[in-house]
Amino acid sequence: MVITLFGVPGNMGTKVAETLLKEDFVTRINLLINDKKHSKKIIKKIKKSGKEYRIIFGTIANLSDVKDVISGADYVVNMAAVIPPASDKCPQDAIEANEIGPKILVQAIEEMEENQPKLIHISTIGVYGDRNYKHPFAEVGDPLLISPFDIYSLTKMRGEFTVLESDVHCWTVIRQTAMLYDELLMKNISDGLMFHTCYNSPLEWATANDSAVLIRNIIKKDIAGELNETNFWKHCFNLAGGLNNRVTGYETLDLGFEIIGCTTEDFFDTNYNSLRNFHGEWYSDGDKLNDLFDYQHEDIKGFWEHVLKTHPYFKLAKLCPKKLMKKFVIKRLLKDDNAPYYWKNHNDEARMYAYFNGVDKFNSIPSKWSDINLTCKGKTNDGEPLDYEELKNKPTRLNHYFDIDKDRTKIDIEDLRKVASARGGMLLTEEFKTGDIFTKVKWENADGEVFEARPHTVLFCGHWRNISYVKYAWDFDRLAKTDKMVSQIWYDSHDKDENRYYWYDSHFNAKYKIIE
């Protein structure tokens, strides 16, 4: 089998390439690479493997490059992405890789009249937006609520929409959760991004190794004839880590610092991190992919133990005074333009409202850790008692306004009408053949905008036309007032009297205005 990979030398892409090189069913690997410098190691491994290979130096946003690298491929795995903090620093790069890239890739595959490769498209769980203890679990089909100014998740949402609505014959969309990889700690102490993680954000991690095992097992099972449109192809899935990998933002930091004998509270003040507007959750349907492909083998604790063994210099950090480390490793990042302290000190009102609901809210954060209500320590945001272990072990679900467990072949026009009504709009198409969820129909949103989308994309993948699909803007304060699915989540971290519209200007400066 010939496999084309996009997204090497990324964290997931590199592991997938290394894993596939060991498999007999792989006869050739094709790579499209736009970063020669950081690709030297994986290229060297490919050349040593004895496998046939083809390496194209180019970009996924170039149609000629894409056509060249997918020619003759049996499978295409698209892991190409510009992720935070690079997406925050260079939004245009994120647009090119995450949004334009999938359009070019889909076009290239669609133009192949015969022998189209099967497409495995990696999206992100960032499309679900911010969650907390009130609705910590997400599943495919939940409304997509991109956090304001999260250009990464917005462009990835548009990219996956392109795949879902494409005429590619055989595809699947997999939303990758937060991923653990060897350089995670070092890369996250070089930018203010770490301060975006809310202490109470639910996070369900998966390792790069497990993610690679998943891709390998998908291809192996498909070659064996075990996959079809009933159980896998033309479906959307969450790539999750499982119960042992469900933690909060606070615990994530704690487990990372534990390998050097420290805690979150040794290095972080109570007001370093955002109160909302992150993207993270646990998954009520995370078992679906694992039941099919048995890939969840590593856990977060074991991962950090592995990091300590393979990076012995972390042991030296135990000898360094904590106050000194806090000053020179963490506090220096407060001055980074991607950090909340920077936004506050430079009067970035748009981000302060998005991430804290204003400077006054930021200033009211208690200074003592003993006064902070932490989900992982059994407290709600209001200080009420909470059974944290029960919360993690008992997944909850949103109201989707139709039976989301219904057999896809039995979806009827009333299901479509119910969902459209819940979203504040309507179904315009008057005739619908039961079960025909991949034929596009016409919808109208609450603003009277008419759009086309497949019932599968709307009902089973959570997409619904709003301003974020056409502009780099976020209007959920207003939309939550008419969209019942949005309001279920939005008001978990926003007040009902908030009326802000957020957007990026042409230079990607963060802006907001009050909606009258």
pLDDT score for 181: 87
Residue 447 domain boundaries: 408-514
Statement: residue 312 has pLDDT above 80: no
Please give the structure tokens belonging to residue 350. 């748009």
Q: Would you call 52 helix, strand, or coil by DSSP?
A: strand
CA neighbours closer than 13 Å in the CB half-sphere of residue 237: 26
For residue 188, pLDDT beyond 80 = no
Residue 77: in which H helix or E strand, if any? strand 75-78
Residue 189 has pLDDT above 80, yes or no: no
Cα of 473 vs its chain's centroid, Å: 18
**Nearest Cα to Cα of residue 282 among 244, 337, 326, 229:** 244
Per-residue pLDDT tens over the stretch 118-147: 999 999 999 999 999 999 999 999 999 999
Report the b/e string of 282-306 with b at 16+ CB within 10 A: bbbbbebbbebbebbebbbeebbeb
Tokens 């009102």 label which residue? 349
Q: What is the pLDDT of residues 450-503, one digit of tens each?
A: 999 999 999 999 999 999 999 999 999 999 999 999 999 999 999 999 999 999
Phi-psi region of 404 (alpha: psi -120 to 50; beta: other; left: phi over 0): alpha
pLDDT at residue 436 is higher than 90: yes
pLDDT digits (tens, 9 = 90+) for 192-249: 999 999 999 999 999 999 999 999 999 999 999 999 999 999 999 999 999 999 999 9
What confidence tier does 264 reach under pLDDT thresholds 50, 70, 90?
Answer: very high
pLDDT at 314 over 80: no
> What is the structure's pLDDT at 49?
87
Question: Cβ–Cβ contacts within 10 Å for residue 481, how many?
Answer: 14
Q: What is the DSSP string of 148-214?
A: TT-HHHHHHHHHHHHHHTS--SSEEEEEE--EE-TTHHHHTTSSGGGGGS-TT-EEE-EEHHHHHHH
Is the model's pLDDT at 101 over the cut of 90?
Answer: yes
Give percent of the chain with pLDDT exceeding 70: 99
Give the Cα separation of 105 and 497 in Å (integer). Answer: 42
What is the model's pLDDT at position 432? 97
- Tell me which of 508 and 261 has the higher pLDDT: 508
Is the Cβ–Cβ distance between 279 and 153 less than 8 Å? yes
| Antiparallel, parallel or unpaired: β 441-444 and 426-427 | antiparallel
Question: Residue 46 falls within a domain, yes or no?
Answer: yes
Tell me which of 43-52, 286-295, 328-337, 465-474 is least confident.
43-52
Mean pLDDT of the residues in the chain: 95
Instruction: Flag the least confident range among 47-61, 306-320, 453-467, 500-514.
Output: 306-320
Q: Indicate if the pLDDT at residue 318 is higher than 80.
A: no
Residue 263 placed within a domain: no
184 pLDDT band, cuts 50/70/90, is: confident
Answer yes or no: is 62 within a domain: yes
Last residue of a domain, one of 239, 265, 289: 239
In a domain, 377, yes or no: no
The full length of the chain comes to: 516
Residue 42, in any domain of the structure: yes
In terms of DSSP H, where are the helices of 235-321? 249-258, 264-267, 287-293, 300-310, 313-317
CATH of the domain at 146: 3.40.50.720
In a domain, 73, yes or no: yes
- The enclosing H or E element of 502 equals strand 500-504
Question: How far apart, in whole angstroms, are the C-alpha atoms of residue 11 and residue 91?
Answer: 20
Provide mean pLDDT across the span 57-84.
96
pLDDT for 453: 98
Domains held by the chain: number: 2
Tokens representing 201? Answer: 């954000």
Residue 471: strand, helix, or coil: coil
Is there a domain that residue 330 lies in?
Answer: no
Residues 360/366/367/368 CA torsion (nearest 10 deg):
-170
User: Kindly report the CA angle at 82 between 77 and 84, in degrees rounded to 5?
Assistant: 130
Q: State pLDDT tens for residues 3-56.
A: 999 999 889 999 999 999 999 999 999 999 987 777 888 888 888 888 899 999
Residue 317 has pLDDT above 80, yes or no: no
- How far apart, in Å, are the Cα atoms of 239 and each of 84, 283, 404, 501? 19, 9, 19, 31
221 exposure class (CB count in 10 Å sphere: 0-12, 13-18, 19+): middle
Q: Dump pLDDT digits (tens) for 171-183.
A: 999 999 999 987 7
Q: How far, in Å, CA of 213 to CA of 16, rounded?
A: 7
Confidence of residue 257 (pLDDT cuts 50, 70, 90): confident
Report the DSSP beta bridge partners of residue 385. 379
